Amino acid sequence: MNPETSRRLLFDMLRIRSVEETIAARYGEQKMRCPTHLSVGQEAVAAAAGAALRPTDLAVSGHRAHAHYLAKGGRLKAMIAEIYGKVTGCARGKGGSMHLVDESVGFMGSTAIVGGTVPVGVGLSYPMKLNNTGQISCVFLGDAVPETGVFFESVNFAVVKQLPVLFLCENNGYSVYSPLSVRQPPGRKLYELVAGFGLETHHGDGNDARAVYAALSEGVAAIRGGEGPRFYEFETYRWREHCGPMYDNDLGYRSVAEYEAWKLRDPVLALQRALITEAIVTDADVADMQAEIDAEIEEAFAFAESSPFPPPEDAFTDVYASAAG
Amino acid sequence: MATSFAAAIRDGLATALAADDDVICFGLGTDDPKGVFGTTLDLHKQFGPDRVFDMPTSEAAMTGFAIGAALNGMRPVLTHQRLDFALLSLDQLVNNAAKWRFMFGGKRGVPITIRMIIGRGWGQGPTHSQSLQSWFAHIPGLKVVMPTTAEDAKTLLLGAIFDDDPVIFLEHRWLHNMKGEVPAGDVREPLGKARVVRSGDAVTIVAMSYMTVEALHAVDHLAAQGIACDLIDLRSIRPLDWPTVITSVQKTGRLLALDSGHLTGGVAGEIVARIATDHFASLKSAPQRLAAPDVPEATSPALTKNYHVRAEHIADAVGRMLGRDVETASLVAQRTFPHDVPGTWFSGPF
Ligand SMILES: Cc1ncc(C[n+]2csc(CCOP(=O)(O)OP(=O)(O)O)c2C)c(N)n1
C-alpha cells in the first residue's frame, strides 16, 4: 500500500472517531434531538471502503451511517447540521442522523429500517451495468441484515444479473442487545452462508484498516471489471451503546472482558502505531492531523448551532415532485 | 397503587403466560436487558426461554411463524419496538393471518397478537413514528386495539391474547410512562367496547390512544369555560363500537373525530363518513375531524411543532363548531417541557 493511502486511512479514521466522540460528548445538551447510532470502534471498514471506492461510485447504508457518509466524502457540516435538525443539514432537517445523504459524493442515502436499502443498492447498480459506466454500488450492512428476507432476495437477483454490487457487512456481533447466538445457529459464518447464492464472498478482520483496504481494492476492481457482485464480511466491535452516546456494558448483555479485549484492538490506535513504527507518519504528523480535524469539527458544530431551523412550512414540502398531490 | 402503562403491559403478558401454557411471547429484544421499554422485562426468567424469546430481524418470517404456531394450538404474542418495523410483515398479516379463517371456510382461526409501538417526536422521524391503524383496520379479519390507560393496556392485552382472531395491538410510546390504577389478576376485557371518558352535551369527541390524552386536556379546559363534551376513547378500532358513538352523537348533534394517523383514508374519516351517511338527521352541524397532516413526520424538532394535533387544536375546533370563542392560551402555557417529548422523563435517545 502506498504511504499516501495509509495516511488517508489514518486521517479518515481519526476524523470519524473524533466526530463520533464529539457527538457523544455533546449529546446530553439536548440539542441533537434524534436517535443517533455511533460507530466508535468500527472506523476501519468505513475508512477502507471510502478509500477503495471512487467518488463516482454510489453507496447506501442503514441506521449506523455516520462513518460511511464521512468516509465516502460526505460533508461534515451538513451531517452535524442534520443531526441538529437545521435547514443547512444534508436532508434539510427532514431526516436526522439515520437519514444521511450527499449525492455529490455518491452517498445516495441511509435509512432506518434494517435491510431497507439493500435492494435499493442493487437497483442503483442496474443502470451502471446496462450503460457500462464503470461505477459500482456499495451496500453497507450490519450483521442483522442477513436475517431479512429482502437481503437474500436482493443478493439472488444481483447474482442472476451479475450486477456490480459490493455487499459490505460490518459484523459487530450484536443487533441492539441481541448477540448473534440468538439469531444464527452456532458455527455459522455469514460469508459462507451468502456464498451459497453463487457469488464470491470474503471474510476478514474489520479492525485492520490496511487489510480491509487491500481486500476491498481487489474486490472493487473485480466487480468493476464485470465479475459480478461480491460479499465482504469484516468482524469488528461497537464500543458505545447501540443507540445514544453512553456505554452500556452495565446492562450485562455482553461481558466487560469481551469489550476490553476488543478495546485493546482499537483500529485507530493500531493503525497509528503501525504507521509511526514504519515511519510513514511521525507523532508530529498525527498531531497535525488531529489539530486539523479538531478545527473542522469545531467549525461544523458552530455551523450547526448557528444555522437556522427550517421554516415551519418546510414540514409540508417534498412529499411529491410538485406541490399538488 | 398506580402502575405505568409499560408495567401494565408486562403485567398482562405475565398473567397470560401464567394462565395458559400455550401463550408464547417473542420479538426483537424481548429478553434483552431493556425488555422492550420494560414491557417484557425478565419474563424469560420467569417463564423460560421456550416461551419468551428473542428473534432474528426477520419480521416477515416470524409473523408467518406465529400464524403457524397459532394454527397448531398456540397463542403467540409478537412484539415490534416500532410499528414501522412490522411493515415488513404485511403480506403475512394481510394475506395469511387475516384471511385464514375465511379462505378455508371457517376451519381454523389465527389467534395471534401483534404488539406494535408507535413513536412520536424527539427525532423519531419519517420511519419511526407512523400511526397506521387505518391500514390494519381496513383489512377484514384483523382486529385493531389501541389502549390509552394503564388499566386498558392490561385488560385489553389479555382480551387480545385470548381472542380467537388476529389482533394488532397498538401501543403509543408516549403512553408508556403514564400511570393509573390497574386491576390485579386475569382481567380480560372483550374487544370492541369504547369508553365514555367524559360526559357532556355540547360535542361528541371521538379519540383513540394518545389522542385521548390530548382530548382530555381540551375537554377539561373547555368544561371550565362552560362547554361540556362527550369524550369517547375508542379503545378498539376494529371492531368499532358504533352504538356508543351513535348514542353520543344523537345526544350532542355534533361530532369531532380525532386521529393520530394521517387525514386521508384515516379512521377519523371513516367515523365521519358513517355518521354523515347513516345518521345525518342527528347532526346539527357538519362533522369535523382532526388528524396528522398528509406528510411524513420530519426529524427536526422545528418541523414537528405544528405537526401533531394537540389539546389547543381540539379546543379550538370545538369552539368553532359551537360558534363560540374559547380561550386556549392558558392551555398552551401549562406545557412546561419541549413540544417533542411526552414529559420531563423522556430525554432520548430512543
Ligand atoms: C426491520 C427492522 N426491524 C428492527 C429494527 C430495529 N433495529 C434498529 S437497529 C437494529 C440492529 C441492527 O443490527 P446490525 O445490522 O447488526 O447493525 P448494528 O446496529 O450492529 O450496527 C435493529 C434490530 C429496524 N430498524 N428495522
User: Mind listing the pLDDT tens digit for each residue in A234-279?
Assistant: 999 999 999 999 999 999 999 999 999 999 999 999 999 999 999 9
Strand pairing class (B236-238; B179-181): unpaired
Note which residues in 17-56 of chain A have CB less than 8 A from chain B. Answer: 27, 30, 33-36
Closest approach of A318 to chain B, Cα-based (Å):
9
Closest ligand 1 atom, CA of A112?
A: 25
Note which residues in 231-260 of chain A have CB less than 8 A from chain B. Answer: 243-245, 251-253
For residue B85, how far is its CA from the centre of ligand 1 (angstroms)? 10
User: Mind listing the pLDDT tens digit for each residue in B83-119?
Assistant: 999 999 999 999 999 999 999 999 999 999 999 999 9
**Mean pLDDT throughout B121-128?**
96
- Residue B153 in contact with residue B98, Cβ under 8 Å? no
ipTM at complex level: 0.93
Question: What is the spatial distance between Cα A238 and Cα A44, in angstroms, rounded to a whole number?
Answer: 12
pLDDT above 90 (res A318): yes
**Mean pLDDT throughout B220-248?**
98
Percent of chain B whose predicted confidence (pLDDT) is above 70: 100
**Touching check for A277 and chain B: CB below 8 Å?**
no
Please report residues of A whose CB lies closer than 8 A to that of B123. Answer: 33-35, 85, 96-97
The x, y and z cell numbers of residue B213, run together, are 390524552
Say yes or no: CB of residue A111 within 6 Å of ligand 1: no
pLDDT above 80 (res A323): no
Q: How confident is the model at residue A325 (pLDDT cuts 50, 70, 90)?
A: low
User: Mind listing the pLDDT tens digit for each residue in A195-207?
Assistant: 999 999 999 999 9
Q: Which chain B residue is nearest to residue A145, measuring alpha carbons?
A: B57
pLDDT of residue A206: 98
Say yes or no: CB of residue A176 within 6 Å of ligand 1: yes
User: Mind listing the pLDDT tens digit for each residue in B181-221?
Assistant: 999 999 999 999 999 999 999 999 999 999 999 999 999 99
pLDDT above 90 (res B347): no
B300/A309 Cβ within 8 A: yes
A310/B302 Cβ within 8 A: yes
- DSSP 8-state symbol, A309: P
Question: What is the spatial distance between Cα A233 and Cα A26, in angstroms, rounded to a whole number?
Answer: 32
Residue nearest ligand 1's atom 8 by CA: A114
Q: How confident is the model at residue B349 (pLDDT cuts 50, 70, 90)?
A: confident
The x, y and z cell numbers of residue A48, run together, are 477502507
Best interface-test mutation with A: which of B53, B116, B300 has the largest number of A CBs within 10 A? B300
Question: What is the spatial distance between Cα B8 and Cα B39, in angstroms, rounded to a whole number?
Answer: 8
pLDDT of residue B1: 84
Say yes or no: CB of residue A319 within 6 Å of ligand 1: no
CA B179 to chain centre: 16
User: Mind listing the pLDDT tens digit for each residue in B45-86?
Assistant: 999 999 999 999 999 999 999 999 999 999 999 999 999 999
Percent of chain B whose predicted confidence (pLDDT) is above 90: 97
Q: How confident is the model at residue A324 (pLDDT cuts 50, 70, 90)?
A: low
Cβ-proximal residues to A122 (8 Å cutoff; 6+ apart), any chain: A137, A139, A154, A157, A158, A163, A165
What amino acid occupies position A180? Answer: L
B127/A85 Cβ within 8 A: no
